Structure formats: C-alpha cells, structure tokens
Structure 1
Amino acid sequence: MLDFSRGHLRSVIPVAALAVSLGAAGCSVDDGAGKSAVPSGEKITIGFVNGNRVQFHTCLQRALQARAAKKGVEVLTANSAMDPGRELSNIDDMIVKKVDVIVVQTVNIDSLQGGVARANRAGIPIFLTGVASGVDRSKILGAVVADVEQVGRSLGAWLVEDTGGRPAEVAIIGGAPGAAADLMTGAFKKSAGTRADVVFEQPAFWQRAKAQDVAENLLQARPRVRYVLVQNEDMAFGAEAAFRAARRTDIKILTNGGTAEGVQAVKSGRFAVTVSNTPKDIGEMAVENVVALLRKEPSAKKFENVPETVVTKDNADKAPPYCV
C-alpha cells in the first residue's frame, strides 16, 4: 500500500504561540466560509488532514492532489492515523501554516467538533470529505459526502431481496466505532428490518488481518450465520479467507468500496455484492467544490453526495474506477 506520510505536518508548536495564532486570527466565522472571496488570480492553498493510510485514504489523497495540481492549487498534507487527538493537532498545524482552507477526512465526528471550532475562531474555512452527519453545517464551508447511511440502506435492501423476506442470521464486521461505521450499521439494520437477525457484531478497525480473526471468532460463536456485512473490501478479503479456510462457501459477503479487486471478487463470487462510491470521485469533487466556494463562483455547491453504484455480477463490468 502506498504511504503518503512524507507530507505529514507535525510541527512542534509552543502552546503560547499557538494560542496567540488562534486568538489573533479574528472573530468567529458563522457560515464557515471565511471573510471574503479568494480572487481568481490568487493561489489557493489547501491543508488536507487525512484520517488513515488504508487504500481508501491513499486513493482519496491521490485524487485530491491530482485534481489540485490541474487547477494550480497547492496542497499540504497531514495524516491522523485514526487518532482523534492527532487530528486536532493536525488542524492546529494547518491553522498555524495559514492555509486558505482545511479539508478533513475525519477520524471521529464527535472529536471533529473541536477542530471545526478552532478553524472558525482562526477565520479559516473547513471542508469535510466522506461524512458530515453530526456537524453544524453552518460552521463549515461545505462537504462532499459518501453517504454511508445510503450504503447501509442499499445493502440492507439487497439482503431483503436476496432472502425473499425470510428470516436470516446476519453478522456485522465493522470498521472503527465512532464515525462512518456506526452510521452504516444503523442504516443497514433499519433497512434490513426485523427479519434479519443480527446475531454477531464486532469491529475490525478497517484491518484485513483483524477482520480475519473476527471472522474466525464468528464461525465459532455463530456457525449458522449466512450473511455477513463487512464494512470495507479490505476487511472483506480477510473475512473471506477465514470462511474459505473453514470451507464455508455458503456465507454471502456484503461489502463496500468498489476497488478493482473488490469488483473482481464480485465477478468471481467471492463477494455477493459491493457498493461503489469511490475516493477518486470524492477527492476530485472536493477540490472542485472548495475552489468554487472560495472564489464564490455561481456554480459552487456547498454540499454534494458522491454517486453510488450497487455492484453485483450483473453490472460489475460497468463499475466506476476506484483510484487515480
């Protein structure tokens, strides 16, 4: 997996200096959009605070950087490595560096509130990628949203159709509690309804090896399970390896991602279904929308959902590209 950590901005800022830089930056920004438009001839600098280094996040960063380069936009990067405290520190670093906008792929929605407040106090607009639920939308510049709740609803609806509405034991192997994983799980359960009996639920923190361990535990605890929601494809490959080793080819894996490997797994029957809402689209749309919003162009979109495709064997050949 590619590692973009060389752009990781973790400058050591004295507490007093940081307090001065935050306090002197001006009054709060109620609409999250900054004080005035950035003129068309003036260069824009984006501070991108990424949440992790798994495939989704590296592809998101690649797409954002590639589209920014095409538009003459500078990008400074930092990675929070799934640590909410580090995310807040990275946002502070971007404030000190006086970027024009901070784009955040958040680790945790609850902890993000503090980062949004600090950016508001500094007069620097903040823009979100991936999720925006639970954030006061008047306090941010905007967001490009991969609607994880819609992913959950789509997979729940697929499950109902596949079972014909009959009762089924279902397991969930989740990501990291506290952000997208919780939203997807809640929507999936609601969409699948009471006929889907969720008998096992455990996080694997977006890690393939951890998901394999969790899947092995699942087989011991609930051997009659027939459907497993695995919240991203990397984890799904780990779970599938555990099922294959146990000769449980009857278990259907429902997952999310749309990677080339994931789509191929759908074609071959290793996965039953996946949902594609690609980081390529998220990164490209984020740059386009950020620039338009900062320049106050008439075409600017404050909030926009990333297109979603439910991928099965029937349409796998038409799945959109995942990465740049």
Structure 2
Amino acid sequence: MAIKKKFMLLVSLIVVLASFMTACSSSSDSASGKKDDGKIVIGAAMPTFDDKWVSYLIDSLKATAKENNVDLKMVDAKNDSSKQLSQVETFVTQGVDAIIIAAPDPSAIQPAIDAAKDADIPVVLVNRMPSDDVIKQVYAYVGSESVQSGTIQMEEVAKMLGGKGNVAIITGELGHEAQINRTKGNKNIIKKNLDMKVVRESTGNWQRSEGMKVMENWIQSGDKINAVVANNDEMAIGAIMALEAAGKLNDVVVAGIDGTPDALEYVKSGKLKVSAFQDPMGQGKKSIEMAIQAAKGEKLADKYVWVPFELITQENVDTYIEKWKSAGAN
C-alpha cells in the first residue's frame, strides 16, 4: 500500500511539473511576441502615420507582410525620436525577429540601433538615410538614391532650357540627407552646363506654404529666373502658386521630386514640367523582403538596397497616375 501511495505521489509530481513547464513556455512565447504558428514577427517603427507619402509606404509594408505570411507590428513615433526609441525597446522586449525603422531624425537613430543590436535583433532602415557609419551597423538600408533624383531632375531642366539660363533652387530642411544630396545632384549638372548658373538658393523646409513664400520673395527681388528647381514637389507646387499669382508661370520652368499624386496633376496640366518618382510601394516591398532575409539569417552582399527614382514629364505622367491609382491613391 505504501508503495502504491509513493507511486501515485510521483505521478502527481510529474503532472504538476509538466504543467508548470508548459505555463512557463506559454508565458515566454507571449512575452517574446513570437507566434505559436511559427510566423516571422517583424516590428515596423514609422516616423509618422500622418505623412501622405509615408502612408503609402505603410500600406506596402502591410500588403507585403500579408503576402509572405508575416506578423507585422506597426507603431507611430509621431515624429518624435525619443518616442520611437521607446517603441523599438518594446519590440526588443517582445523578442521580434527583425525591426524596420524609418527614423523621424536619422541623426538621432543610434540609441534605437544599439537597443536592437544588444538583443541581436537585425534592423532594416528605410527611406530616411542616416550616416554610412550607422548603416554599417544594420542589416540593410532600403531607399532611393537622393543624388540620382537631383541629377535626373536637373538634366531634364537643362534640356528644356537648352543648356543655358538662371536657376533658383528651393531646398528642403537644411542638413537632411535628401536636401544635401538632391541639391548636390542639381549642382553637378549645372557645373557641366557653362551657360547655366544658380542665382538664388533658399530653404522651403519641404513645405508648400514655405516654397510659395520663398518664390514670392524672389519675384519681388526682380532677379531674372528661368527655372525653379525644388527638392520636393510640395515646395515646387508652392512656387507654381506664387508664379501663377504674379502672372509669370509661363516664363519659368518649375521642377520637383517625389512624383506625388498632387504633383502629377500639376505635371499633367503642364504647370510642373518635371518630377522624379520616389516609389513608396517599392521601398515597402523591399523592406519586408530584407527583414525576412535578416530573420532567417541570410547574408547580404550589399547593405544598400536601392529603389531607383524615375523621371516624370508630361509625356509619361499617365503611367505614374495609374501607379498611384493601383496603390489606392485618391
């Protein structure tokens, strides 16, 4: 009888121990954020949900994750680097398999990189390009090469001007990678055309309203300007509004960058002569693909994954209008 009791007690202990281990395992899975079905879990830290261009990047991330049976966790930093750091730290605590980051301020991204690196979680950066030193520390950077956009934009403007004339450049927020390199691409082409020169340069901080103010000031100065080349479409549209109000739009070639839905309507009407399409759908797709590779431990030959800019003029604008319609743009 004593032996039977001991046996029953041993069985009971085994059952209790097994239940405890199962509970611990379930708790660990829950804390890690990993799915019981074996799905790859990716955290995506976005700079803001309010930006129109970024909204298409987000839609592409979601669609590509769904196509690849990936569990995607998306957060909005509301353009606050410290908030994004906290969100990345939460992803680390959850034990996601990879993290995608589009930084509000690429110069302030290092703490978020460190948090992921300390936990051996690979990071894919998208669209907002930090320094080369930061990119060396992550799995990949996915984006479009800013110098290329400024180059193809200005090449087309130079062609329209016959290689001569006065150019005014409206730049984005000073110090941003896109502002520096889009402007660099512009000036590289101007240097090759000896009869072209930059007569005005000022920042419009990426905003339509500020681009308009800059153009209004230039109009009042009385300087002869043959072309206005802006670092993005929003500032170009602002310049168009100021030129139109002053009755001078027909005398000036205006160019932008990004190929946004709003801008394409201006291209179609002939008011905006040039833009360069930056593809949020392509960047979103590549980012998820790189994050999946990172989660699987696959090696990359090159950390820079470029989604090329594409020149837009009135001749091919309908192609890009259709691209946006396919992406669900209004």
Change (3 A) 1:68 1:225: same
The equivalent residue for 1:209 is 209
Identity across matched positions, percent: 24
Aligned partners of 1:97, 1:195: CA distance in 2, in Å?
59
**1:174-189 correspondence to structure 2 within 5 Å:** 174-175=172-173, 177-189=175-187
* Contact 2:150/2:231 (8 A) holds in 1: no
- What is the CA–CA distance in structure 1 between the aligned matches of 2:86 and 2:180, rounded to whole Å? 24
> Could you list the per-position Cα deviations for residues 175-223 of structure 1 after superposition, in whole angstroms to 9, with x for gaps in the alignment?
4632322221122222322654333333333322233223323322454
2:116 match? 119
Q: Using a 3 Å threshold, how does the CA distance of structure 1 residues 171 and 294 change in structure 2: closer, same or farther?
A: same
Q: Which residue does 2:242 correspond to in 1?
A: 242
Q: What code does the residue aligned with 2:161 have?
A: T
- Greater percentage in helix: 2
Task: Decide whether the 8 Å contact of 1:175 with 1:231 is kept in 2.
Answer: no
How far residue 117 of structure 1 moved from its aligned partner, in angstroms, is 2.6
TM-score w.r.t. length of structure 2: 0.76
- Report matched runs for 1:230-309 at 5 Å: 230-249=230-249, 250-296=251-297, 302-309=303-310
In the TM superposition, residue 262 of structure 1 has moved relative to its aligned partner by 2.0
The structure with the larger Rg is 2
Specify the alignment match of 1:8 in structure 2.
Answer: none
Cα distance, 1:72 vs structure 2: 2.0
CA–CA distance in 1 between the matches of 2:304 and 2:167? 37
Tell me by how many angstroms 1:82 deviates: 3.7
- My pick for the range that moved more, 193-202 or 48-57, is 193-202
Q: Secondary structure at the match of 2:234?
A: helix
Which amino acid in 2 is paired with 1:318?
A: T
Shift of 1:255: 0.8
Change (3 A) 1:187 1:84: farther
- The question of whether the paired residues in 2 share the 8 Å contact of 1:101 and 1:124 is answered with yes
Give 1:108 deviation, angstroms: 3.0
Equivalent residues of 1:64, 1:283 under 8 A apart: yes
Cα distance in 2, alignment partners of residues 299 and 134 from structure 1: 19
Structure 1 pair 125/297, CA: closer, same or farther in 2 (3 Å)?
closer
Deviation at 1:317, TM superposition (A): 2.6
The alignment status of 1:159 with 2:157, answered yes or no, reads yes
Matched position secondary structure for 2:254 = strand
In structure 1, the partner of 2:14 is none
Q: 1:4 — aligned with what?
A: none
Cα pair distance change 1:166/1:262, threshold 3 Å: same
Which digits, 9 at most, give the CA deviation of each residue in 1:155-186, with x for residues without a partner? 12223222222242322242463232222112
Please, which runs of 5 or more residues in structure 2 have no aligned partner?
Answer: 1-33
What per-residue deviation string (whole Å, max 9, x for no partner) do you get for residues 17-54 of structure 1? Answer: xxxxxxxxxxxxxxxxxxxxx99x72222222222432
Gaps of 5+ in 1: 1-37
Q: Do 1:169 and 1:225's aligned partners in 2 also have CA atoms closer than 8 Å?
A: yes
- SS of equivalent residue, structure 2 residue 314: coil
Q: Who is 1:44 aligned against?
A: 40
- CA change 1:98–1:202 in 2 (3 A) is farther
Structure 1 residue 310: Cα displacement:
0.4
The residue aligned with 2:323 is: 321
Distance 1:205 1:170, change over 3 A: closer
1:199 aligns with 2:199: yes
What is the distance in 1 between the residues matched to 2:82 and 2:159?
A: 42
User: Secondary structure at the residue paired with 2:211?
Assistant: helix
TM-score by length of 1: 0.78
Q: Is the contact made by 1:259 and 1:321 (CA closer than 8 Å) also made in structure 2? A: no
* Match of residue 18 from structure 2: none
Q: What does residue 23 of structure 1 align with?
A: none
Shift of 1:94: 3.0
Match of 2:146 in 1: 148
Please show how residues 44-123 of structure 1 align to structure 2 within 5 Å: 44-52=40-48, 53-123=50-120
Deviations 1:67-121 (CA, angstroms, capped at 9, x unpaired): 1122222222233344444443443343334322221122333222333233212
Q: 1:94 to 1:311 in 2, by over 3 A?
A: same
Give secondary structure in 2 for the equivalent of 1:321. helix
> What's the Cα RMSD here?
2.8
Is the alpha carbon distance of 1:80 and 1:203 closer, same or farther for their aligned partners in structure 2, counting shifts above 3 Å?
A: farther
Structure 1 window deviating more from structure 2 (232-241 vs 306-315): it is 232-241
Amino acid at match of 1:47: G
Alignment: residue pair count: 286
- Whether the aligned pair in 2 keeps the contact of 1:173 and 1:214 (CA below 8 Å) is no
Q: Conserved in 2, the CA contact under 8 Å of 1:253 and 1:271?
A: yes
* Partner residue, 1:17: none
